[in-house]
Amino acid sequence: MKKLLLIVACFLLVACSAQPSTSGNTSTPEAQTPSNKVVVGISQDFDSLDPHKASATGTQEVMFNIFTGLVNTLPSGEIVSELCTEYVVSDDLKTYTFTLRDDVIFHDGSKMTSKDVKYSYDRLIGKTDDQTEPLSADLSALIASVETPDDTTVVFNLNSEDASFLSKCLNAIIPVNSGATQATNPVGAGPYKFDSYTAGIGIKMMKNENFYQEGLPKLEEVEFKIFADANAGQLAMENGEIQIMSMPIANANAMSSNFNVINAPQNMVQLMALNHEFEPFSKVEVRQAINYAINKEEIISALSPGSQQLDTNFSPVMEFYYNDLLKNYYPHDVEKAKELLKSVGEENLTFTITVPSEYTLHVDTATIIQQQLAQAGITVNIETIEWNSWLEDIYKNEKYESTVIGFTGKIDPHPIIARYRTDYNRNFVNYSDKEFDALMVKATQTKDVNDRADLYKQAQENLTKNAVSVFIMDPSINVVIDKNITGYQTYPIGYIDLKNVSYQ
């Protein structure tokens, strides 16, 4: 399944609009969660239970417990086999051959074969009877055909070289012809199977007794309950209603004496995206001026202490690909910002930041940016909208001037940085640069990992020098955990992995 995967968890994206839970926040010991069940608090509702149609990281990080792909990732970010036992990549990077496990049973009782894999990818590229339009434009352009020589062999033939194709094989594998009902009755082969979903409340899952990894999962039941308000989530944890939840740092610090707190980078890029089709932002000088006028250290200190400051669209957690020469490329310099604005006649610049109301971090970041840019003579208005409206109006239809959001990291560098290709269908900042596009093409055709890394570093330099947007930070994730919980791990993608979790 794609990672995207968020996180803000924060990014992409992260999550969907939701209403705070209206169930009471009081509990008695008798009402607390039994030891064979764990309840996880999440901050947003789901955009779709269909794994091929969900775009929100907040959805994907939960549904990874129901669905699995041909490959998976370790907490270190390494790609490993999941539904396959091995894979072979051709020298020309155009043929990927997978040998499947022969012990995978879907939640509906059917055994997984190569036909299910073919159906899943044919559906993603719009070549099934129940899905005639591509659900993934990138895969549709890339995959020429999917062959199934036998029940345990799948061959992907690509239209062009793609060194990053393996990372695209996290996509969910679902049973043949199940696409029409996935949104209401999701069926995968993951450690937990779907039980029930209530919009605005949450989702329940039960142990998959036929899971192919021996001894897993360890819990009989898991539930994800929506708490759009972090304070309500904190109270629910203190009352024993939930055992795991990602919290803002203030809440996490307040709970640290009675709960365990995991603090880790998310491999996310929080940014203030600038729509280049908004006339002032078509001028590189204006974009550079905004970068100089923003004090990132102040934002991090106020909202997410300890988080990594960014000047590129990569988190330093992606160390091998991260261009550390770009650190502090735009030091805070209000006078420099004013000079740049004056040079292009934009001394009276005014624009609106539209931000999803559910994400306190992004709303608060926009508020601080508003105050900082005022010092450079820039007037900023802030508009808050619901997450679903953000996805439709901004991410899909590009009806905005600026926004603050988080882009979730991936386990391969290409989908992180390729968002800015001219022809990328979700290049919602509308950046277009021939040099950058050429670097992206060359990177997909380069098998040597060191050479690929150098190309991605050059691409980062292009984006930073051209001030494509304002890259702010990789917000640290603060996961508050009941002290009786063991086995919880964090990942460089949005993934709330419960298969190894125990509740003692």
φ and ψ of 135, to 5 deg = -90, -20
Rounded Cα gap, residues 143 and 95, in angstroms = 10
**Is pLDDT larger for residue 359 or for residue 297?**
297
Paired residues of 41 in beta bridges: 225, 245
**Nearest to residue 199, comparing CAs of 225, 237, 234, 236?**
225
pLDDT at res. 29: 37
**Residue whose pair of structure tokens reads 């209000």 in the numeric block:** 334
pLDDT at res. 176: 98
C-beta of residue 268 within 8 angstroms of C-beta of residue 408 = yes
My answer on whether omega of the bond before 175 falls inside 30° of 0, hence cis, is no
Q: How many CB atoms lie within 10 A of CB 108?
A: 14
For 374-403, the pLDDT digits (tens) are 999 999 999 999 988 999 999 999 999 999
Does the pLDDT value for residue 410 go beyond 60? Answer: yes
∠ CA 472-475-479 to the nearest 5 degrees? 175
Rounded Cα gap, residues 124 and 52, in angstroms = 7
DSSP state letter for 16? B
The domain spans of the chain are: 7-66+190-264, 71-181, 268-475
Rounded Cα gap, residues 211 and 500, in angstroms = 13
The secondary structure element, H or E, covering residue 205 is: strand 202-207
For 107-130, the pLDDT digits (tens) are 999 999 999 999 999 999 999 999
Instruction: Go through 61-93 and write b for each residue having 16 or more CB atoms within 10 A of its CB, e for each that does not.
Output: bbbbbbbbbbbbbeeebebebbbbeebebeeeb
Does the pLDDT value for residue 354 go beyond 90? Answer: yes
At the fourth CATH level, which superfamily is domain 268-475?
Answer: Dipeptide-binding Protein; Domain 3 (3.10.105.10)
**Nearest to residue 136, comparing CAs of 34, 248, 256, 53?**
53
pLDDT at res. 54: 94
Instruction: Go through 255-272 and write b for each residue having 16 or more CB atoms within 10 A of its CB, e for each that does not.
Output: beeebbbbeebbbbbbbb
Does the pLDDT value for residue 7 go beyond 80? Answer: no
Amino acid at 406: G
| DSSP SS3 for 353 | strand
Does the pLDDT value for residue 90 go beyond 70? Answer: yes
Mean pLDDT of the chain: 91
Q: What is the mean pLDDT of residues 325-338?
A: 97
Q: Pairing mode, if any, of strands 84-89 and 379-385?
A: unpaired
Q: What's the pLDDT band for 34 if we cut at 50, 70, 90? A: low
**Is pLDDT larger for residue 67 or for residue 425?**
67
DSSP state letter for 21? P
For 118-170, the DSSP string reads: HHHHHHHTT-BTTB-S-S-HHHHHHEEEEEEEETTEEEEEESS--TTGGGGGG
- pTM to 2 decimal places: 0.75
Q: How far is CA 96 from CA 113, 151, 166, 224, in A?
A: 17, 16, 8, 36
Amino acid at 384: T
Q: What's the pLDDT band for 21 if we cut at 50, 70, 90? A: very low
Q: What's the pLDDT band for 202 if we cut at 50, 70, 90? A: very high
CATH of domain 71-181: 3.90.76.10
7-66+190-264: CATH class:
alpha beta
**Residue whose pair of structure tokens reads 């039980």 in the numeric block:** 195
Rounded Cα gap, residues 43 and 64, in angstroms = 17
Q: Lowest mean pLDDT of 117-131, 213-227, 413-427, name the range.
A: 413-427
Q: What is the mean pLDDT of residues 9-17?
A: 35
Q: Pairing mode, if any, of strands 37-42 and 244-246?
A: parallel
**Residue whose pair of structure tokens reads 């990874």 in the numeric block:** 64
Please state, for a pLDDT cut of 70, what percent of the chain lies above it: 93
C-beta of residue 248 within 8 angstroms of C-beta of residue 43 = no
DSSP state letter for 392? I
**Residue whose pair of structure tokens reads 């997410």 in the numeric block:** 304
Rounded Cα gap, residues 470 and 332, in angstroms = 12
**Residue whose pair of structure tokens reads 């696409």 in the numeric block:** 179
**Residue whose pair of structure tokens reads 């509702």 in the numeric block:** 45
pLDDT at res. 2: 35
Q: How far is CA 4 from CA 11, 58, 320, in A?
A: 8, 10, 19
Q: What is the mean pLDDT of residues 64-70?
A: 98
C-beta of residue 83 within 8 angstroms of C-beta of residue 70 = yes
For 449-487, the pLDDT digits (tens) are 889 999 999 999 999 999 999 999 999 889 999 999 999
Paired residues of 202 in beta bridges: 198, 225
Q: How many CB atoms lie within 10 A of CB 28?
A: 8
Rounded Cα gap, residues 17 and 43, in angstroms = 9
Does the pLDDT value for residue 338 go beyond 80? Answer: yes
Rounded Cα gap, residues 77 and 386, in angstroms = 32
Q: How far is CA 244 from CA 38, 40, 140, 300, in A?
A: 8, 5, 38, 24
pLDDT at res. 449: 82
Rounded Cα gap, residues 351 and 367, in angstroms = 13
Q: Is the dihedral of CA 7, 480, 229, 192 positive or negative?
A: positive
Q: What is the mean pLDDT of residues 22-34?
A: 41
Q: How far is CA 146 from CA 90, 95, 97, 124, 477, in A?
A: 15, 10, 10, 12, 38
Q: What is the mean pLDDT of residues 234-241?
A: 96
Rounded Cα gap, residues 164 and 447, in angstroms = 9
pLDDT at res. 33: 53
Query: 268-475: same fold as 71-181?
Result: no
